[in-house]
Amino acid sequence: MPQLQPAFPSATAPTQSLGSAVEVALALEPLVTVDPLSPQHAPPSVKPLPTQHARPAESPTFRLGLQNQTVTSGDAAVFTVFFDGHPRPTVQWSINGRLVHSSRPDDTTVVVDRIDGVEVVEDLERGTSTLTILSSSVDHEAQYTCCIHNCCGTAFTNAHLFVLGIFTFYFIFLLCLRPYGTGIKRWFCPSIRPSVRPSRT
């Protein structure tokens, strides 16, 4: 009985090389060049994302300006301003025309500056600035000016600080008690004695 053997391709069978296949493809299809600048082959246009409207430039303005103050010697005096503007304004404080504080355009956090018993605390992001005299004296009686500035303009606000000395305050206090009679005065000023008229006999 003859044995069956599996049929294998003959080693002499004709094979097609890759090079010949490429040559045939080039022969059948003409050479096509793609121009990247051609509108037919240009990539689809990408729509830009919607952008928020930029805030228009605004001149600096004070929402709360300075007001005159009267304090007693030794007490603290506080001047506070609220401002707005775009671009963000810079802040300057002056005492009788002498510059004591000036913020920088790149300040983004709370700024604290102290000089000669005067403290300045400001937050440019929130638009606030406060000048505090820690312990007032007669020497601090002056005109205080706050100036804000940006590329659109400048704004000023000023106020005067009046400082009452101890004796001045005591004198005014006694004048206020005058309508209430000499009894209260004698209690505050033991050296004052009421005048006694001689009795007529």
Structure tokens at 67: 């007001």
Q: pLDDT per residue over 157-179, tens digit each?
A: 999 999 998 666 556 666 666 66
Give the residue among 135, 193, 137 at the shortest CA–CA distance from 165.
Answer: 137
Residue 78: closest CA among 146, 127, 130: 130
pLDDT for the residue numbered 147: 97
Domain positions in the chain: 58-164
Provide the pLDDT for residue 125.
84
Strands 58-64 and 153-164, how do they pair? unpaired
Q: How confident is the model at residue 9 (pLDDT cuts 50, 70, 90)?
A: low
Mean pLDDT of the chain: 76
Provide the token pair at 3. Answer: 């044995």
pLDDT one-digit tens code per residue, 74-133: 999 999 999 999 999 999 999 999 999 998 877 766 778 888 889 999 988 889 999 999
* List of residues 6+ apart from 114 with CB closer than 8 A: 120
What integer pLDDT is reported at residue 121 of this predicted model?
Answer: 92
CATH H superfamily, domain 58-164: Immunoglobulins (2.60.40.10)
